Chains A and B, each alone.
Chain A
Amino acid sequence: MSTALQLENVAIRFGGVQAVDGVSFAVEGGDFVGLIGPNGAGKTTLIKIVAGLLRPDRGRVTLGGADVTDEATATRVRRGLALTHQIVRPFREMTVLDNVVLAAGIQHTSSPFRALLHVNRRGEDERAAHILGLVGLAGTERKLAGSLPLGQMKRLEVARALAVDPKVILLDEPLAGLNHAEASKQVETISQVHRRGITVILVEHNLEEVMRICRRLIVLNNGLVIGDGEPRAVMADPVVHDAYVGGGMVSHAEA
């Protein structure tokens, strides 16, 4: 398997805080990686750097072998990167279907000139409806996205990310704010995404679920990677264990 995503010595500083302090790792195509760490460990910052929402002070990010460190988010997305936001950001004034259709039409919207010459959206409509069924949102197509309850909005985020037909998908706390039933549905969807051959990088507080579904665990603390490997082995590492207990967070997996 080739390398889908690689970070080399990535670092960023906010004022007096070294949020990410020289992080390097590579993710193989088709892998399922959990990115965890106590609050303030730098997980979301790192995800934002990978997504192009933040520019690192130093280091390199490569996607499928191409250096994307200086590329905008939209360009990375067109290279096959998809992401869901921790705080959901649907287009509230559009219908649920339109939200996903817009993502599915990524080839048409790559440039305004191309977009101006295309009107037909039948293919995208069908694909979007299929994806909505996949994430369990069938029947909500005509509703305004802003009217959905949080659990469904979280699934809409996943649907939009899937619709851009990504090679790598970054999920930033896709379970946060969901009740138990909603969370297990969402986990099922995420597993399906992975089974389709998409590389998944999951940032999540819900350790129980992360341990259950991820094949590899990367643990961040104070902007550094302190553990990386098979989930159970990583969690058994005393350094990781200390960081979690010291950080005031107790693993559900151990409870």
Chain B
Amino acid sequence: MTAYEISIISIVGINVILAVSLNMISGFCGQVSLGHGAFFGAGAYAAALAMVATSSVPLAILAAILTGCLLGIIVGFASLRVRSDFLAVTTIGVNFLFIGFVRKQSWLGGEMGISGIPATGLGASGNMIMILLFACATIAFSFYISRSWMGFAFRAVGEDEGAGATLGINAGAYKLMAFGIGTALAGLAGALYTFFTQFITADAFDFIFSVMLMAMVVIGGIGSTWGVVVAAVGLTLLPEAIRFVNDYRLLVFGGLLVLVIRLAPGGLAAMVRGLVLRVRGA
């Protein structure tokens, strides 16, 4: 395997974790978050600091997960107070706030970011395998959640909080849980990204990246784990395969997003489901 292939596969794995975890918040529980990049970034910085200080991979992963989760629960509290459209605006704000804050902190390397992060000692292929294992675990966990009573209650909260309350479902607790789990996994992705690049700057975690993650969720089919995985893989590889897409990345993703919302609101997952039903019916 070439170094290029290893790095692409690693990025695909990280994006899969990010998209699937965002889908838990926005797809399963219906809480629109356009600031997932901030939790990813928080995890990456926490892991970088932990690696520089201790060179311990497990400690770095733990620090990243806890930082992402903590920040996520704080933002989750905002979701208890605001309507869903305003939550989208709030999370955008969180993302900008994160970038603005990190750039001004000398202990986080400011504009220059953090470089010289110690290697994991696993090598590039070892890192890739670790990333893929975590990606598979995330996918499996996502499937488990949607089959569990928690996934069931998430769907209720996402569709109608008030009706959920009349069935004894405490919407607030579930929203915090969705944010806590989703952002913990974003933090994990941040740690894996840090191991992969050994050099981070704030720009990698900006709002544009958060919108790309949301595009993966929506294009894949909001709420569908398989759809989101396929879209995350496809949309990560597309700019690599087609030069034009790389040059006009935002235009292509934005265009796809608009097309899907307009023509197939259920995304890839709904299209496949529709096709299967039609084939069976024929």
The 0/1 profile, CB within 8 Å of B marked 1, for residues 101-121 of chain A is 111011011111111111101
- Is B272 engaged at the interface, CB distance under 8 Å to the other chain? no
- Is B169 engaged at the interface, CB distance under 8 Å to the other chain? yes
Are the C-beta atoms of B148 and A118 separated by less than 8 Å? yes
Chain B residues near A252 (CB, 8 Å)? Answer: none
User: Which of B134-175 touch A at CB < 8 Å?
Assistant: 144-145, 147-150, 152-153, 155-156, 159-160, 162-171, 173-174
Contacts A73-B165, A74-B170, A89-B163 given; indicate if A115 touches B149 (C-beta within 8 A).
yes
Minimum CB–CB distance for B232 against chain A, Å: 24
Are the C-beta atoms of B168 and A78 separated by less than 8 Å? yes
A76 to B150, CA, bound (A): 20
Are the C-beta atoms of B159 and A109 separated by less than 8 Å? no
- Is A85 engaged at the interface, CB distance under 8 Å to the other chain? yes
Are the C-beta atoms of B153 and A115 separated by less than 8 Å? yes
Are the C-beta atoms of A109 and B163 separated by less than 8 Å? no
A52 to B44, CA, bound (A): 43
- Is A35 engaged at the interface, CB distance under 8 Å to the other chain? no
A174 to B159, CA, bound (A): 22
Chain A residues near B150 (CB, 8 Å)? Answer: 112, 115-116
Residue of B nearest to A83 (CB): B166
A111 to B165, CA, bound (A): 13
Minimum CB–CB distance for A111 against chain B, Å: 7
Are the C-beta atoms of B166 and A109 separated by less than 8 Å? no
Are the C-beta atoms of A72 and B170 separated by less than 8 Å? yes
Are the C-beta atoms of B152 and A51 separated by less than 8 Å? no
Contacts from B to A (Cβ < 8 Å): 144-145, 147-150, 152-153, 155-156, 159-160, 162-171, 173-174, 176-177
A-B residue pairs, 10 tightest by C-beta: A112-B177, A115-B150, A77-B168, A115-B149, A73-B165, A108-B149, A89-B163, A116-B150, A106-B168, A74-B170
User: What are 23 inter-chain pairs, A to B, with CB distance below 8 A?
Assistant: A53-B162, A74-B164, A74-B165, A74-B171, A77-B166, A85-B163, A85-B166, A89-B163, A91-B155, A93-B155, A94-B156, A102-B152, A102-B153, A103-B168, A105-B152, A112-B176, A112-B177, A113-B177, A115-B149, A115-B150, A115-B174, A118-B148, A160-B167
Given A74-B170, A115-B148, 10 additional A-B pairs, CB 8 A: A73-B162, A89-B162, A89-B163, A90-B163, A94-B155, A103-B168, A115-B150, A116-B149, A119-B148, A164-B167
